[in-house]
Structure 1
Amino acid sequence: MKNPPAQPSQLITKEFAKELNLNYNKKKTRSTTAKTTQKEDANAIWYSLEELENYIHYIKTKGTEDGYAVDGIRFYFGVYPDDKKHGEKAGLTTLFLVPTGKKTQTNTTTAKIQTFALVEEETPSDIQSLSPMNYGNIGRPPSLVY
């Protein structure tokens, strides 16, 4: 391999990942949602590489068209409505992805003024014009343990 990828700075140890997963499972077990639904809740969500790559391509392309510099993805936890139209997922945990970024400037004069005015870096915000991604495969039953 000529150019191996750089090691991401956000890597954690397998032991710490296991601790995070165990803490989540313990907390979810104590939650009232888990007790009232009588269903085993999701404790892991899986997306294929192809789905993730397609989503990244979609948000970069559509984001540029909408005037954004897409710079990341925020992961949100959610719970499906307790409604039979959601089938086996009703009342259970989900994880959905939302693109983040900043509005790009098209007017160079405005851009220069704003660049001068903005001394500190803005934090990325959710891009509301792009669709979030959901419907990964849930890790149940049985629960997956990292």
Structure 2
Amino acid sequence: MKNPPKPTQLITKEFAKQLNANYNKKKGTTLTTAKGVKKEDANAVWYSLEALESYIHYIKTNGAQEGYNVDGIRFYFGVYPDDEKHGEKAGLTTLFLVPTGKKIEDNTAKVQSFALVAEPASVDIQSLDPMNYGNIGRPPSLVY
């Protein structure tokens, strides 16, 4: 079996360690809740390959059914509401995934133009559900 091509966005382990150390130093991983309790915040989120593959299948299939060419996933940082409903995650950082893409246009009735037109940027596909609830691990703060 032939090895797949190496992705172009890879970084060195050393640079990854530097990025993680910078995050831990500049963003801090300790927070104080509304009740004055100090908590260690998450600095990493883990999703299983199975969960990611399932989500990719979901967004590609449902995006196509809704007329989108799904072309990526945008990762957003968030913070859980600081209430009892969210239990131990209350007030902690999270990472959620949102599919991106472009609406597929029906070109059958259009007259072909030779003018250069900028291709529209990928947008968040609001009609598909975002994915959340990765595992922040125990303890929440990890060091790469």
Identity %: 75
Alpha-carbon distance in structure 1 between the residues aligned to 2:79 and 2:14: 27
TM-score (norm 1): 0.88
Any residues of structure 2 matched to 1:74-85 within 5 Å, and which?
A: 74-85=74-85
Any residues of structure 2 matched to 1:56-75 within 5 Å, and which?
A: 56-75=56-75
Give the aligned partner of residue 132 of structure 2: 134
Alpha-carbon distance in structure 2 between the residues aligned to 1:138 and 1:53: 19
Compared CA separation, residues 50 and 60, structure 1 to 2 (3 A): same
Give the aligned partner of residue 32 of structure 2: 36
Give the aligned partner of residue 97 of structure 2: 97
Would you tell me which structure has more helix in proportion to its own residues? 1
Alpha-carbon distance in structure 1 between the residues aligned to 2:8 and 2:108: 34
Structure 2: stretches of 5+ with no match in the other structure: none
Q: Which runs of 4 or more aligned residues in structure 1 lie more than 3 Å from their structure 2 counterparts after TM superposition?
A: 115-118
Contact 1:79–1:93 (CA<8 Å) still a contact in 2?
yes
2:13 maps to 1:14: yes
Structure 1: stretches of 5+ with no match in the other structure: none
Any residues of structure 2 matched to 1:93-132 within 5 Å, and which?
A: 93-110=93-110, 119-132=117-130
Which stretch of the first structure deviates more once superposed, 119-128 or 57-66?
A: 119-128
1:126 Cα deviation after fit: 0.3
TM-score (norm 2): 0.89
2:49 maps to 1:55: no
1:116 Cα deviation after fit: 5.3
Compared CA separation, residues 142 and 133, structure 1 to 2 (3 A): closer
Which stretch of the first structure deviates more once superposed, 19-28 or 126-135?
A: 19-28
Q: Which SS does the other structure have where 2:126 is aligned?
A: coil
Alpha-carbon distance in structure 2 between the residues aligned to 1:91 and 1:104: 39
Please give the root-mean-square deviation of Cα atoms over the aligned residues, in Å.
1.8
Structure 1 letter corresponding to 2:68:
Y
Q: Which SS does the other structure have where 2:4 is aligned?
A: coil
Structure 1 letter corresponding to 2:32:
T
1:19-72: per-residue Cα shift (whole Å, max 9, x none)? 111111112228xxx442310001110000000000000000000001000000
Compared CA separation, residues 88 and 122, structure 1 to 2 (3 A): same
Compared CA separation, residues 89 and 116, structure 1 to 2 (3 A): farther
Alpha-carbon distance in structure 1 between the residues aligned to 2:91 and 2:104: 39
